[in-house]
Chain A
Amino acid sequence: MGDRGRMGFTPVFSMLAIFFIGCAKPQHFRADIQSENAGDRILAIRKAGEAKDRKAVPLIVDRLDDEDDGVRFFAIIALERITGTRLGYDNSAPSSERNAAVERWREFVRRGGHLSKDESGVAVRGGAANGVEGGAAPH
């Protein structure tokens, strides 16, 4: 009985340990995506892109119309890295063109296109780099 108890405890303990380790790894850089300092915003956006942090996508989308050209530049690179698409956004395009692309990104987020299939219940159709058709599949 003692042996059965130990065998049952180990996998449960391992699963709990993995769960709590996962929870104990907060993405500290997310807060800095909205920092007042443009350099800090860029560094945080780069980290989110490198980590392919899908939960940071809404924050990064908000930076697509940042006043700082460099922030906008790194924001779209990070979004492309995470989602596989630019939705036609060009950081150095005139603001009218950028605004249209930003609206496509906001719609992408509203539809949960940035979330994984398990998180959103919809399939993400990525890979259309620079295209405008890489959004979430219809519900």
Chain B
Amino acid sequence: MRQEHLVSLNIHSNARSLPVVRGAVEQLASSEGFDATETHGLVLAIDEALANVIKHGYNGQSDQPITVTLSVVQSDTGRRGLAIEVRDQGRQVDPTSICGRDLDDVRPGGLGVHIIKAVMDEAAYSCPSEGGMCLRMVKFVGEHPSAK
């Protein structure tokens, strides 16, 4: 997969920063050819990802650093898409333990990971050796594979 860096956004872990990231994602999604529904999905996914970092990674602290990196990617088969990497310096957890709760467990909240995986074509957590967590998400322009 080829990747071309577009922009890195250094924000703080608070709701005030969210419009900045949303605005960048909307702008780039539109210029890369995502339709309105796909763009909405991308914004939803990044909202959920950042909400998880703030709530679980930083326990609600509002002044901690988060870096969101947006890149254009092209798959080996030529599909273009947008890669979003969310990097924090918060609490590390085993990536394999990160999964949404059972969907049959009906109560508010806790569906962020489900939403991210439903919207994006790829989503993977990792624990960088420098600390914190990294979430890399990719969405390609066009129909989501699970919709076929």
Contacts and interface: CB of A to CB of B under 8 A. Distances in A.
Interface of A: 38-39, 42-43, 46, 68-70, 72-74, 77, 91-92
Interface of B: 5-12, 16-17, 19-20, 23-24, 27
A60 to B, nearest CB: 15
A70 B9 contact: yes
B7 A69 contact: yes
A38 B20 CA distance: 11
10 contacts: A38-B10, A42-B9, A42-B20, A43-B20, A70-B24, A72-B7, A73-B24, A74-B20, A91-B7, A92-B7
Contacts, number: 38
Contacts of B10: 38, 68, 70
A70 B20 contact: yes
Given A39-B17, A68-B10, A46 B5 contact: no
Contacts of A39: 11-12, 16-17, 20
B74 to A, nearest CB: 16
A21 to B, nearest CB: 28
Contacts of A38: 10
B8 A69 contact: yes
3 interchain residue pairs of minimum CB distance: A70-B9, A73-B7, A69-B8
Nearest to A91: B7
A74 B20 CA distance: 9
A38 B67 CA distance: 13
Contacts of B16: 39, 43
A92 B20 contact: no
Interface centre among B8, B9, B27 (most CB of A within 10 A): B9
A43 B20 CA distance: 7
Contacts of A77: 27
Nearest to A37: B12
A70 B20 CA distance: 9
A78 to B, nearest CB: 10
B24 A74 contact: yes
Contacts of B27: 77
A42 B23 CA distance: 10
Nearest to A50: B23
Given A74-B23, A77-B27, A92 B17 contact: no
Contacts of A91: 7
A70 B12 contact: no
Contacts of B5: 92
A74 B23 CA distance: 9
Contacts of B12: 39
